[in-house]
Amino acid sequence: MIAGVNEHGDVPSGVDGRAGRSEDPARWSASEASVAAVSDIGPREVNEDRSMAVISPDDGSWVIAVADGLGGHVRGDEAAQAAVEGLPSRIAGADEMAVAFGEANERVLALNDPEMRHKNLPLFMFPMSTLCVAAWTPDGGLLIGWMGDTLPFLANAGPNGFSGFLCGRPHRVPGGSIETCLGMPPTDGGIGTTPVEVEIIGESGSGTQPDAVILASDGAWEPYVHHHGVGWLTDDAPGEGIGAACGTGAETAEDIANSILSGAVHLGINDNATIAVALCR
């Protein structure tokens, strides 16, 4: 099943424990899996979202990621770019996922002069970014890590279409303020390595696998919540929630990504909207 752990091996609160469908740990093969990422600038002048979608032709291992530069902060596009540009193309364990987030955090912090950390500057003067990463390897299985409100979903295909659900809580307080993300300056003004609080969920037991993993920036999932209500996030009935947004005839990761993004645009996006998908069919 999909179970939650953080970088210390603890189970975080708010993580859904519903299982994926297949129990074959090798079912994500290079010939069956596909990955894709799509984005829409929406009404903004600059797209501050960035994404990554890579797959190995050798063993089918893959990494997908979405980063969203924080609105209202300076250089949000640069922060999101820094978050994804150094991510590894293979992540085989929770420790490697934690390291990837730690390194991404240092890249975002490096956008500022270190002396800025000693000054009592308002937070909007610091570039910051959310980051959500999913990765699969034959040996390490499925891992998902995130910081901020770019969120991960799992979906399975069935005779009546896809069904799916949110598998991680957004790291933000009511009203929209982000609780944790990349680039937050150390509270003590230090300039050394900054620990990050990243939530990581992964396989346990026999290692079940969903058909699809979907990562969505807030600009992509919020239109659905505004239209259908917050229950949309966890509605795993066939043809409802994120499953309905995947589209009934989707055969590739690109099909799913385009379907979800098109649905968000149809409902009305007011921000950059980005989707990354890995699919095994």
Q: At what angle do helices 94-109 and 76-85 cross, to 10 degrees?
A: 140
pLDDT score of 163 more than 90: yes
pLDDT score of 232 more than 90: yes
Residue 87 is predicted with a pLDDT of: 97
Residue 31 is predicted with a pLDDT of: 53
| Strand ranges, E, within 70-225 | 129-137, 141-147, 151-158, 161-166, 199-203, 212-216
Q: Where are the domains of the chain?
A: 2-10+28-280
pLDDT score of 42 more than 50: yes
Alpha helices in 62-129 (DSSP H): 76-85, 94-109
**Does domain 2-10+28-280 sit in CATH 3.60.40.10?**
yes
- CA–CA gap between residue 138 and residue 8 (Å, rounded): 23
Query: Looking at residues 212-234, what average pLDDT do you find?
Result: 95
Q: Is 265 strand, coil or helix?
A: helix
Which amino acid, residue 15?
Answer: V
Assess contact for 160 and 246: CB atoms under 8 A: no
- CA–CA gap between residue 84 and residue 79 (Å, rounded): 9
The model's pLDDT over 106-130, given as tens digits with 9 standing for 90+, comes to 999 888 866 665 566 656 567 889 9
- CA–CA gap between residue 269 and residue 173 (Å, rounded): 21
Q: Would residue 3 be called left, alpha or beta, if left means φ above 0 and alpha means ψ between -120 and 50 degrees?
A: beta
How many distinct helices (H) and strands (E) make up the chain? 5, 11
Assess contact for 94 and 200: CB atoms under 8 A: yes
Residues of the chain with pLDDT > 70, as a percent, come to: 77
Residue 228 is predicted with a pLDDT of: 95
Q: What pTM was estimated for this model as a whole?
A: 0.86
Tokens of 236: 């795993």
Residue 28 is predicted with a pLDDT of: 53
Residue 272 is predicted with a pLDDT of: 95
